[in-house]
Chain A
Amino acid sequence: DAGITQSPRHKVTETGTPVTLRCHQTENHRYMYWYRQDPGHGLRLIHYSYGVKDTDKGEVSDGYSVSRSKTEDFLLTLESATSSQTSVYFCAISELTVSGNTIYFGEGSWLTVV
């Protein structure tokens, strides 16, 4: 358990509405990530953060924005949700050891855009 909490865990929203997913961590990790998981695509990186107010785009960032105003919170916003954004969203943190970078995941947020 890496102390990651995602909210909400399940949400149904209408096309065109804004949606914000929250990721909260309790262990002061510098790196945080948002991934989406879709059948046949595995996990794809949306955005990541390497510190407060320091964020960068991942592989599938179009239609998403993020913010990190505090170390413990990383927010993912869909400005205007589309049906293609129906997915499972995972927040993750990174722990760097002598062996390499290991990522620990939250339990996921199921988002359905109707």
Chain B
Amino acid sequence: SQQGEEDPQALSIQEGENATMNCSYKTSINNLQWYRQNSGRGLVHLILIRSNEREKHSGRLRVTLDTSKKSSSLLITASRAADTASYFCATGRISSGSARQLTFGSGTQLTVLP
């Protein structure tokens, strides 16, 4: 079963605008991560936020985490056409023994129009 669910499923914006994607999850986590996938390629790690962190920045990316609401958001500022991709959130479990697993959502398809 999927732990993270992204919202919206698809988002289309103009170049230069900000893009916000949300992720909700169900169980306790020790970290939440965002990945990006260009069409026909593998997933690329973008950013990790730990459960004791509320906000994290990396370049044009800003991630927030609200553990009380079990939700996270990914903000891409000043978007570019090259940001067009699918974005996935993934949650790391509190205790997974030897598993060290991440559980992925079904993703948000972002299209940035030039």
Contact = CB atoms under 8 A, between A and B. Distances in A.
Contacts of B100: 31, 50, 94, 96, 101
B1 A101 contact: no
Contacts of A45: 101, 103
B42 A43 contact: no
A101 B106 contact: no
Interface stretch (A70-78, A79-87, A104-112): A104-112
B4 to A, nearest CB: 8
B45 A42 contact: no
A102 B32 CA distance: 10
Interface residues of A, number: 28
Given A42-B88, A50-B98, A59-B1, A107 B41 contact: yes
A18 interface: no
Contacts of A44: 104
Given A99-B48, A103-B102, A108 B31 contact: no
B45 to A, nearest CB: 5
Interface of A: 31, 33, 35, 40-45, 48, 50, 54, 56, 58-59, 90, 94, 96, 99-108
